Amino acid sequence: MSNQHASQAPEPLLSPAAAELLQQRGLGPLAETMGIELLELSAERTVARMPVAGNTQPLGVLHGGAHVVLGESLGSFSANVWAHPDRYAVGIEVNASHSRSISEGHVIAVCEAITLGKTLTVHEIAISDEAGNRLSTVRITNLLRDRR
């Protein structure tokens, strides 16, 4: 992502724990490579958008794995906000169901907590096109671990 593009992006809406965590470790190189733009981040709800361009499979549609990367990234970000500062989250299960394809524009992902527990978190991520049509649903379970 170019600095010019990054400066045009609105500041994301962050919970205090999310702001601290992002300052410490950022989104990570894969999220940056895929062009994931964070719009909101908390343990309960995370929203991001991602371009289709650069993330397609040979037929020209958004790669199913890109859907999974976006969903798993948001679920992991949210789980780590929940775990912060004494714990951290690691993904132990992810699944995805794809219902529509997209070949241009951006996708919007909305991640919502299903369970925020002492040892596990579960998040569901709805990925839609800019018109609001659901493209895929991703669900991730994270295990919470103590920092050593």
Residue of 52, 30, 36, 43 lying closest to 135 (CA atoms): 52
Residue 54 main-chain phi, psi, to 5 deg: 90, -10
Contact predicate 106/42, CB 8 Å: no
Residue 41 main-chain phi, psi, to 5 deg: -150, 120
Helices (H), 49-108: 64-83
Cβ-based burial of 115 (10 A; exposed 0-12, middle 13-18, buried ≥19): exposed
> Which tokens go with 110?
């909305």
Catalytic residues: 72
Parallel/antiparallel/unpaired status of strands 106-116 and 37-41: unpaired
Q: Which residue has the tokens 């709805």?
A: 126
